Amino acid sequence: MDESPDEVRILEVRVLAEGHGVLRTTRMQHRRFDGTWQTLNRETYDRGNGCALLAYDPVRGCVLLVRQFRYPAYVSGHAAPLLEVIAGLVDDNPPDVAIRKEAHEEAGLTLRAVRPVFAAYMSPGAITERLSFFVAEYEASDRTGAGGGLIGEGEDIEVVEIPADTAIAMISDGRIVDAKTIMLLQHARLSGLI
């Protein structure tokens, strides 16, 4: 069943916190598949939409990832910095423009072409963010800057080149645990890019 505005009634929305994003609690009614109405309370976290990019070098057979500390992963028991694909918020930019900006800020990459591959909600039960996923070929000469992120945004990023086969193996052995990174690596492997 496709949802229409008639299937949801918003009764009350309260802002619980505003900071890096906005945490809201909503009291709503939703029409169930059997036609009856159910009243629910849901929290949503809105930090805007995002974008993610797997940069890969088909000649050298490697991928470019970034390593950074993630506090939510830390409090969930993962103390090590995470290995991730390049990613960030789109802010007011189209996703393909935003990901080029992120590639330069995080990894020092100046990309010639980016290719959209899919979009997904990463945790639709609580997070409003829709992530646009991209892939892009790169070569060593495309590393035109230092990368490392923006100190003003609290970023401290290490740029890491890894053989593609090693990156795939790191999913199974638990060294790569970030969902967007796993999704893009698997997409690239299934598509024959790496």
pLDDT digits (tens, 9 = 90+) for 127-181: 999 999 999 999 999 999 888 877 777 778 999 999 999 999 999 999 999 999 9
- Residues 182-193: what's their mean pLDDT? 98
Residues 30 and 116 in one domain: no
Q: Evaluate if residue 11 carries a pLDDT over 80.
A: yes
130-137 and 50-57: which strand pairing? parallel
Do 14 and 94 fall into the same domain?
Answer: no
The mean per-residue pLDDT over the stretch 7-15 comes to 96
> Do 94 and 175 reside in the same domain of the chain?
yes
Same structural domain, 68 and 143? yes
Query: Does the predicted model carry a pTM greater than 0.85?
Result: yes
Q: What SS3 state is found at 118?
A: strand
d(CA 194, CA 190) in angstroms, rounded, equals 8
Q: Which residues are annotated as a binding site for Mg(2+)?
A: 87, 102, 106, 155
Question: Are 95 and 17 part of one and the same domain?
Answer: no
User: What total of structural domains would you count in the chain?
Assistant: 2
Average pLDDT value for residue range 21-35: 96
Confidence class of residue 116 from pLDDT cuts 50, 70 and 90? very high
Q: Are 11 and 29 in contact (CB under 8 A)?
A: yes
93's tokens: 């930019």
Residue 2 placed within a domain: no
Chain mean position to CA 113: 19
Residue 186 within a domain: yes
pLDDT at residue 1 tops 60: no
Q: How many CB atoms lie within 10 A of CB 13?
A: 11
Q: Residues within the annotated binding site? A: 87, 102, 106, 155
Residues 16 and 75 in one domain: no
- Angstrom CA distances, 44 to 20, 37, 125, 153, stand at 14, 21, 8, 23
Q: Give a yes or no: residue 1 inside a domain.
A: no
Q: What is the largest CA-CA distance in the chain?
A: 60
